[in-house]
Structure 1
Amino acid sequence: MSETVPTLKEASIPSFEAPVASPFSWLRDMAAPLRDQMLVQGAVLLHGLPLDGPDGLAEARDALGFASHTPTEEFNNRRDFGNGILSPINWPGDRIICPFQEGSFSRTFPSAVLTACINPPDGDGQSLLSDTRRITHHLPEQLADRVRKDGWTLARAFHDRFGITWAEAFSVTDRAALDEIFEGAAIASEWLPNGSLYTVRHRPGVIRHPRTGEECWFNQIAFLNAGSLDPVEREIMVDTFGKYLPMNTFFGDGSPLSDKDLTDVQQAYDSVQIGVRWRRGDLLVTDNIIMAQGRSPFEGSPEFLIALGDG
């Protein structure tokens, strides 16, 4: 999506300071009110936890009462530290990651995302949060209604020696297991003459939150669209792969998005976006349906860990 970093509002999510003594006991005692706050505000930011590696994040996840979520499909290669702890998606540090919701292209997705700051970025690097309950209010009515009614379509192709393989994406090694996944996930597939795998799935674009009943924008129709690529990179992709691009999105009826559609969606995210600055040991807990999460460009050697939670 757009590489322009918008002017960010100060973080307005609630923040809490863990006590030096028995911080994880405090976290267990505070789990219910913290999760209630997350449902209202979309996210909470916790300071002062002893988060210096995967074990600390796993303990924090468990203390908050979340079960570990295992993705059914990966967007790109992530390092797996075991016990449900992952690295963030692999993305160049000098590029913005527009806010997105984990697993929104899948039938199953985590209810919460826990992001631990092991080492903060230099300079002004921030996480970007967008409240998806407010997205449709900032879209042209016709565009919002179209996605609400028809959903969206993701086409994904796996090409030899380019990007993540289908075996890595779906954590299987044979086609029979892959076909079983596709059947359960309602993904149509086609093997191309050159051996590449082409997949298409249709997903809802707006869903109701299972706890609050609120309408939430839940898709990656703009983030994964070919029109959001750098123009030079997009031209290379089209020259190389034709219509079978590694990722592309469409409206639910298969129609393409216009440049204006993409701009309108990006501006809607920007309109509700806030920035969260990081300190070492911070834990950002977001409701994965209510709050889309990305980041600004990062400088230095920041280190983050991710836990996807259910429940």
Structure 2
Amino acid sequence: MLFEAAGEGLALGASLPAMREAVERHLRTGGGVLFRGFSLDDADAFRAFAADFGHPLLTYEFGSTPRSQVTSGVYTSTEYPPHQHIPLHNEQAYTRDWPMKIWFYCMQAAPEGGETPIADSRAVFAAMPEAIRRRFIDKGLMYVRNFGNGLDVPWQQVFGTKDRAEVEAYCAKHAIACEWKEDGELRTRQVCQGAARHPVTGEWVWFNQAHLFHVSNLEPEVRESLLDIVEDEADLPRNVLYGDGTPIDDAALDAVRGVLERHRISFPWQAGDVMMLDNMLTAHGRAPFKGPRKVIVAMAEAQSAQ
């Protein structure tokens, strides 16, 4: 749904009260809205706009990708090299705690590429092969992460502390199994949902990041190189298994990627655009790009697995 400014210079934040009911309605039915043509001065104005929806902005806890904080509650989008494609995913669906709302503010559109494609997670769930869908629901998913060693984001950065006791307390609170390896690095395992019901609409949505975490997401030469470095797949920076610890075959993940790709839609960013998504109803990604690009992100309304 597009909300477009009626006139030049109309401030986005000042326009929210008149739009709020329609925004929330379209968010639940369509999964997202795009605000275009409004005046939005900077990251602080973006933060204020997102916060005006009534929930404190969330910090990027237990993150899986490199980001930088721009201002309180606002972060850069994932800092992967411009040539890399970021597959469709729902934010933090690899955990048992995630934001219900996510906003993207395009401060500078790339001259080529750099779109933020989206997909309807309800349609993805419905289109998923029944056998795959049933295994993901019945078994759940176990995400395995090995931090540090220059292969993934350091645990000190992910947990925001150098204190092992604080890490252990966080893991215990969030049902994450953790162990300190002989080299002093950290391994975590967490069993999470493969799909979920939306807490408001009651609809089933495809809600996981198995296709990102699974070793099959790596280019073959990268996969082989990593396996030459680590002793076995259990020591890979990240991987995912079924919740009972059995492996997920590559073909199942290829099928998942195919369904996601068939439901992918995108639009070209314009500077000043703000896209707001219901994070459970709509997946997002990033297209490769050339030239400068600046898109920042805010998240709110914490939700936990039932």
Task: With the length of structure 2 as denominator, give the TM-score of the two structures.
Answer: 0.93
Counterpart check, 1:307 vs 2:298: yes
Is the 8 Å Cα contact of residues 151 and 205 (structure 1) preserved in structure 2? yes
Deviations 1:18-42 (A, max 9, x none): 2433432112321221121011101
Matches within 5 A, 1:259-298: 259-298=250-289
The separation in 2 between residues aligned to 1:113 and 1:123, in whole angstroms, is: 24
Match of 2:71 in 1: 82
CA RMSD of superposed structures (Å): 1.5
Q: Partner of 1:273: helix, strand, or coil? A: coil
Residue aligning to 2:176: 187
- For the pair 1:45 / 2:34, whether they are aligned, the reply is yes
Give the letter for the 2:197 counterpart: R
283-292 or 119-128: which moved more?
Answer: 119-128
Secondary structure of 1:68's aligned partner: coil
Separation in structure 2 between the aligned mates of residue 28 and residue 297 of structure 1, nearest angstrom: 36
Question: After superposition, what is the alpha-carbon deviation per residue over 1:87-144, rounded to whole angstroms, capped at 9, x for unaligned?
Answer: 0112121111111111112222111110000000112432111111112322221111
**Cα distance change, pair 309–109 in 1 and its aligned pair in 2 (3 A):** same
Query: 2:152 matched to 1:153?
Result: no
Q: Look up the equivalent residue of 2:120 and give its one-letter code.
A: D
Which amino acid is 2:140 matched to?
G
Shift of 1:52: 4.4
Measured in 2, the distance between the counterparts of 1:23 and 1:47 equals 9
Give the secondary structure class of the aligned counterpart of 1:133.
Answer: helix
Q: Residue deviations 1:253-287, cap 9 Å, x none?
A: 22222221111000110121111211010000011
Unaligned runs of 5+ in 2: none
Instruction: Compute the displacement of 1:15 (Å).
Output: 0.6
Moved over 4 A (4+): none
Please give the alpha-carbon distance, in whole angstroms, between the structure 1 residues aligned to 2:213 and 2:205: 18
CA distance in 1, matches of 2:255, 2:177: 29
Separation of aligned partners in 2, 1:15 and 1:65: 22
Letter of the aligned partner of 1:28 in structure 2? P
Name the SS for the 2:172 alignment partner. helix
Question: Structure 1 residues 181, 144: CA separation in 2 closer, same or farther (over 3 Å shift)?
Answer: same
Q: Distance in 2 between matches of 1:191 and 1:23?
A: 48
Query: Does 2:4 correspond to 1:17?
Result: yes
2:111 to 107, 113, 122: 122
Answer yes or no: is the 8 Å Cα contact 1:28–1:63 preserved in 2: no
Q: Is the 8 A contact 2:147 2:154 kept in 1?
A: yes
Deviations 1:204-261 (A, max 9, x none): 1111111111111110011111111111111111111232111101112222222211
Residue 52 to residue 26, structure 1, CA distance change in 2 (3 Å): closer
Gaps of 5+ in 1: 1-13
Distance 1:23 1:145 in 2: 43
Question: Matches of residues 1-311 of structure 1 in structure 2 within 5 Å?
Answer: 14-18=1-5, 19=7, 20-242=9-231, 243=233, 244-310=235-301
Displacement of 1:75 after TM fit? 1.1
Q: Deviations over 1:287-307 (max 9, x none)?
A: 111111101111211111101
Residues in 1 aligned to 2:11 and 2:181: alpha-carbon distance in whole angstroms: 57
SS of equivalent to 2:93? coil
Return 262-271 or 25-34, whichever deviates more. 25-34
Output the CA distance in 2 between the equivalents of 1:145 and 1:184: 28
AA at the equivalent of 1:90: E
- Provide the C-alpha distance between the structure 1 equivalents of 2:110 and 2:78, rounded to a whole number of angstroms: 16
Secondary structure of 2:191's counterpart equals strand
Letter in 1 for 2:238: M
User: Percent identity, aligned pairs only?
Assistant: 28
| 1:27-64 alpha-carbon deviations (Å, 9 max, x no partner) | 23212211210111011111023334311211221233
> Matches of 1:49 and 1:169 in 2, distance apart?
35
